[in-house]
């Protein structure tokens, strides 16, 4: 048995999702209007020379992604359109539709001219190298072996 920290909000979310499925299955209106934005999950990692952002964007084609940086803010935008036909009634519909937007403020140490991105299996990876002049510089501390004597003229 695995111990798991209890989160009351998780149980409230599960109850909300259950109620939404009940309303949908009964062919009634859902509480959600379908036009709400959905968010993506991101991981931000820092290496010695790079900051790497990995974003989950399943079902989005790479050419439909809008990735930009302006005033040290990285933005990721896209839209997931409905794939359904007109005469289809959903029994369960959990995959969100609509637009998403994610903004992330970047530190001043990022070199915006050398940012690169890649897309593989629904994961967008953005690599942002740190600027050379902004990297941490280590200063060597010299140790003197003999303390210097202080001369005074006092008697």
CB-neighbour burial class of residue 5 (10 A; exposed 0-12, middle 13-18, buried 19+): exposed
For residues 19 and 44, membership in a common domain is answered with: no
pLDDT at res. 71: 87
For residues 80 and 54, membership in a common domain is answered with: yes
Structural domain span for residue 57: 38-132
Number of domains making up the chain: 2
What is the gyration radius of the CA atoms in the chain, in angstroms? 27
Task: Please answer whether residues 110 and 72 qualify as being in contact, where contact means their C-beta atoms are separated by less than 8 angstroms.
Answer: yes
For residues 69 and 50, membership in a common domain is answered with: yes
Whether the predicted model's global pTM rises above the 0.75 cut: no
pLDDT at res. 135: 61
pLDDT at res. 100: 84
**Spatial distance between the Cα atoms of 109 and 76, rounded to a whole number of angstroms:** 20
Q: What are the two backbone dihedrals, phi and then psi, of residue 84, each rounded to the nearest 5 degrees? A: -85, 160
pLDDT by residue, tens only, the chain of 155 residues: 556 677 878 888 888 877 876 766 554 444 444 434 467 789 999 988 899 999 998 888 888 899 999 888 899 998 887 776 678 887 887 777 788 888 888 888 888 889 999 999 999 999 999 887 766 677 888 887 776 666 777 66
CATH code, 113: 2.60.40.790
For residues 62 and 116, membership in a common domain is answered with: yes
């Amino acid at each position: 048995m695995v111990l798991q920290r209890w989160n009351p909000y998780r149980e409230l979310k599960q109850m909300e999702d259950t109620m939404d499925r009940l309303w949908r299955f009964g062919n009634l209106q859902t509480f959600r209007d379908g036009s709400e934005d959905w968010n993506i999950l991101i991981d931000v990692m820092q290496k010695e020379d790079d900051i790497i952002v990995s974003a989950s964007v399943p079902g989005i084609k790479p050419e439909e992604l809008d990735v930009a940086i302006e005033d040290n803010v990285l933005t990721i935008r896209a839209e997931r359109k409905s794939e359904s036909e007109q005469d289809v009634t959903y029994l369960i519909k959990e995959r969100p539709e609509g637009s998403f937007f994610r903004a992330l403020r970047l530190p001043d140490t990022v070199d915006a001219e050398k940012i690169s991105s890649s897309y593989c299996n629904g994961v967008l990876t953005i690599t942002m190298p740190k600027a050379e002049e902004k990297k941490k510089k280590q200063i060597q501390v010299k140790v003197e072996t003999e303390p210097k004597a202080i001369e005074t003229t006092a008697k």
